[in-house]
Structure 1
């Protein structure tokens, strides 16, 4: 199962997220759940970088591990853009979780 944790600030902004594990929906190369979660998460990171110029701290590891931390000292305008892109990622991940909840679990923490 892919465990996804979204960390929010007290004000509700997404400050970081982690992914770990494998969906095990299908064999490697055919796993649409893993591919979907990867495409959504990496697409969001790439969009933040390309559209806002913000470079998050990214850590990748074995076992499908991805950790992404966003700076908190951004201007209001840039912060709003980053948050909109990240909230879009959350909506897409929740859609995958809704349809494939046996393989993806999202947790929110403050």
Structure 2
């Protein structure tokens, strides 16, 4: 199962998120849940870095079953608003996947 944990500040802003595990919804190379989650998350990270021109703190596992992204604290508030919008959009897409394939992915906010 893929577990997505979203850490939020006291202002309810996303400060980091972590994804662990594998969906195992199909054979390797044919796992549509894994492919969808990967496309949404990596696409969102790339969009934030490109469109907001910031460096995120990124940790990845060697087997593809781990991603942790931390947003630096020192970001200008205008840029932070853009980062938040893009990552909230990512969460909406992931929640859509969870709604359809909840036995393979769980999302929680902390």
Whether these two folds match at TM > 0.5 is yes
Cα RMSD for the two superposed structures? 0.8
- Unaligned runs of 5+ residues in structure 2 are none
1:50-69 equivalent positions in 2, closer than 5 A: 50-62=50-62, 64-69=65-70
Q: What number of residue pairs does the alignment pair up?
A: 109
Q: Structure 1 segments of 4 or more deviating over 4 A?
A: none
How does the TM-score come out when normalised to structure 2? Answer: 0.96
1:73 deviates by 1.7
Aligned twin of 1:5: 5
How does the TM-score come out when normalised to structure 1? Answer: 0.96
- Unaligned runs of 5+ residues in structure 1 are none
Provide the C-alpha distance between the structure 1 equivalents of 2:88 and 2:7, rounded to a whole number of angstroms: 12
* Partner-residue secondary structure (3-state), 1:79: helix
